[in-house]
Amino acid sequence: MNCFCKQYSFPHRPLSGRCNGTELFERVYREGWECGECPFCVQSSETHPYGNGVALQYLRECKVSQSSQCPAVLSASYGREVAA
C-alpha cells in the first residue's frame, strides 16, 4: 500500500524519509478498512428516535495519537500488504 502525501511527487512507502504516513492513515480511517480489528479503534452505536421508530448509528473513533502508530501504516511501511 503506497502513500500519496505531498512530501514526494510519486507514490511511496509510508514512513520513509520525510513521509510520516498521514495521507495513508487518513485514507485508512476514512474508508474504514483495517479499523475493525485494530486495538486503537473504539466502536460503539447510538440509537435516536426517528419518526415512529428508532435509527441506529454506528460510530468509530481512532485512539492513535500519531499516524506512525497506526498498525495499517506500520504494515505498509514494512512492505506488507494491508487488507482492502
- φ/ψ (deg, to 5) at 25: -60, -45
Q: Is 39 helix (H, G, I), strand (E, B) or coil?
A: coil
Predicted TM-score (pTM) of the model is: 0.77
Any idea what DSSP says for residue 67?
Answer: G
Model confidence over 9-57: pLDDT tens digits?
A: 999 999 989 999 999 999 999 998 888 889 999 999 999 999 999 999 9
- What does the angle CA 43 – CA 49 – CA 55 come to, to the nearest 5 degrees? 45
User: pLDDT at residue 73 above 70?
Assistant: yes
The residue behind cell 482492502 is 84
What confidence score (pLDDT) does residue 81 get?
59
All three cell numbers of 70: 497506526
**Domain spans of the chain?**
1-84
What confidence score (pLDDT) does residue 84 get?
41
Q: Are strands 53-62 and 41-50 parallel, antiparallel or unpaired?
A: antiparallel
